[in-house]
A and B are shown apart, each in its own frame.
Chain A
Amino acid sequence: MEILSPEEIIDGFKKALGDSFIDSKIYEQEVAVKKNVFRTIWVYVKREAFRKAVEHICKLQEYPHLAIISSSDLGDSVELIYHFTIYYGHHLEEISLGLRVNLPKNDLKIPTLTDIIPGALFTERETQEMMGVEVVGIPDSRRLFLPDGFPEGVYPWRTDETGPQDILRVLPGRKQK
């Protein structure tokens, strides 16, 4: 396995995705006394090329580690970041790679990754119940953390009207936000 520099990785993404590649960012910070570098890459792609981007990551390392999917409610859209780490197992060579996808609120759908990375199941289930993003093709679409009695159509991580405001318990003497 060849270990590429962050710039080379981004060039690889540009080549593989073409027009679907939107933006990228490299974050580097020197650490401790010996000044080794902590590196994070952020890659922003269009939703159509999302699966292709993940397949490209699998070319960088056969089994990339998908740590978690984070999601942010940006008002008109929901942003998902798939936090991968690549080049693990090599001393001080590991790079955190955040794959960013933006979904418009009227079409919250993202294809599943469980056929490529079976371990993505838990985090996809969590994104589905907490953010209301439909993961298309997920093999097990049950809730993960929320109880069965939790109302349908309420998503705790949203900041719009589908958020949990109505079911929050406000302590006596406190104002409702």
Chain B
Amino acid sequence: MTMEKVETTYTIPVGPIHPALKEPVRLDLSVNGEEIVDVDIVVGQVHRGIEWLGMNRNNPIQSIYLAERVCGICCVSHPFAFVEAVEHAAGIIPPERAGYIRVIIAEMERIHSHLLWAGVAAHEIGFDTVFYLAWRVREEIMDLMEYVAGNRNTKAMFQIGGVRRDITEEQLPKIRKSLDYYKSIFNQLKTVFLDDTTIKMRTKNVGILKTEDALKLLTCGPTGRASGVAKDVRQDQPYAAYADLDIKAITPDVITGTVVGDVYDRIIVRLVEVKQSIEIIEQCLDEMPSGDILTEPKIAKLLNTLTKAEGEGVGRHEAPRGEVIHYVRLEPGRETLSTWKIRAPTYVNLMAIPTILKGGQIADVPIAFASIDPCISCTNRAVIVDKRTNKKSILSGKELHELSIEKTRKLKC
């Protein structure tokens, strides 16, 4: 019997639902053998019309809490950008102390988000020991956030014209103790993530995004910085207490000396940013001015001001995944917002996915896709459709995960 060589392109839809997904997305992969030749992204499975609610149902203060629920992880970033936008539109200037508290809580979120990502990334390549380790050390910052904000997640710290909770003198020792803990283990984390042979094998030269592509596709956040785009709102545009600090965008050449734009570089950027966040929090605690935390504590009065206000504003914040931008327009006499537009970082970073995945292997999809830290990090099920016979075979998320683990094992041998 002779074996005939047949070349066919298969289409594999990956997603949209998976227990680990925060935001379902479907990827249609066209594959030739193991190689990915084309990728199409289908989004919108969880479009909840949040902007519409802010324009038709909620008043601006209710919309802060709606903004907080845009994303489960960026529960500081969205209200941060939103209150900035409303403040610019209504001409409210928050007290200086509030700017510092906003920055402290936002940087805490960055530490927890990056550690969460580090664990997920390790899990994607079948390195579950590191997954447990990363999530174990993440608990410290979650506890600290609960201590400062009263909640591990959806912290409701933000208010138009300031923040809702102060950081008191008595809280400082415990905050500093947690930061010292992270400083003491930072070198250990660095060794685990950057010097491990398995991680290096699976992440170096995988999912490359070149600087020019990143610039053209508007890639932002750690994904863009790993490709050498030194763009960071905290560094670029003065807002909140970041304007007082001397922040420099982290690119992978601080460790390796070069910029490749692969998954390994994205690990470097996020890891060094954890250290940067710790330094920012410490600096803020030292330099925090005293004074009020709210310009207008009476909600009814604030609402009255907002209903009368006319104007438009843009609020921006560097979320853990990249730049969040909110545009708000207020019309006098209207209780709701007249226009509200949200741009989350994954919105633009997803456009880089075809470039990142093309030419790669199916087994690299979980880690390469997770490397942009989308609000989607795993893959649920993959239906393989044979175009000639129209036959379908289903590859579950578990099987796809096993494929990835298999590759790690093979590389180790």
Q: Judging by beta carbons under 8 Å apart, are B243 and A117 in contact?
A: no
CB–CB B229/A89 < 8 A:
yes
Q: Does A177 contact B (CB under 8 A)?
A: yes
Closest chain B residue to A118 by CB distance?
B216
* Segment at the A interface, from B265-273, B299-307, B338-346: B338-346
CB contact list, B318-377 vs A, under 8 A: 323, 325, 327, 329, 338-339, 341, 343, 347-348, 350-351
Whether B230 contacts A89 by the Cβ 8 Å rule is: yes
A156 to B316, CA, bound (A): 25
Q: How many A-B residue pairs have CB under 8 A?
A: 137
Cβ of B231 and Cβ of A65 under 8 Å apart? Answer: yes
B contact residues around A154 at 8 Å (CB): none
| Size category of the binding interface on chain B | 35 or more
**Contact: A144 with B43, CB < 8 Å?**
yes
Proximity string of chain A (63-74) to chain B, C-beta cutoff 8 Å, 1 when within and 0 when not: 101111111100
Contacting residues, chain B, for A121 (C-beta < 8 A): 351
**Is the CB–CB distance between A85 and B243 below 8 Å?**
no
Which secondary structure dominates where chain B touches chain A? mixed
- The reply to whether B88 and A27 form a contact with Cβ atoms under 8 Å apart is yes
Determine whether B239 belongs to the interface, using a CB cutoff of 8 Å to chain A: yes
* Contact call B327/A117, Cβ cutoff below 8 A: no
Contact of B88 among A40, A67, A71, A81 (CB under 8 A): A40
> What's the Cα separation between A83 and B327 when bound, in Å?
9
Determine if B257 is an interface residue (Cβ-Cβ < 8 Å): no
Chain A residue nearest to B343 in the complex (CB): A68
Interface hit among A11-19, A29-37, A47-55: A29-37
Chain B residue at minimal CB-CB distance from A100 = B312
A90 to B248, CA, bound (A): 9
Assuming the contacts A37-B238, A98-B314, asked whether A119 and B351 have C-beta atoms less than 8 A apart, the reply is yes
Q: Are B52 and A157 in contact (CB under 8 A)?
A: yes
The answer for the CA separation of A92 and B234 in the assembled complex, in Å, is 8
User: Per a CB cutoff under 8 Å, which of A88, A117, A147 touches B216?
Assistant: A117
CB contacts under 8 Å to A, within B116-165, are: none
B173 at the interface (CB under 8 A from A): no
Q: Which residues of B contact A65 (CB under 8 A)?
A: 218, 220, 231
Q: How far is the CA of A156 from the CA of B248 in the complex (A)?
A: 41
Q: Is A96 an interface residue (CB 8 A)?
A: yes
Residues of chain A touching chain B, judged by Cβ–Cβ distance below 8 Å, are 27, 29, 31-34, 36-40, 42, 62-63, 65-72, 81, 83, 85, 87-96, 98, 117-123, 143-147, 156-157, 164, 177
* Closest CB pairs A-B (n = 7): A119-B218, A94-B236, A145-B44, A70-B341, A36-B238, A68-B343, A63-B215
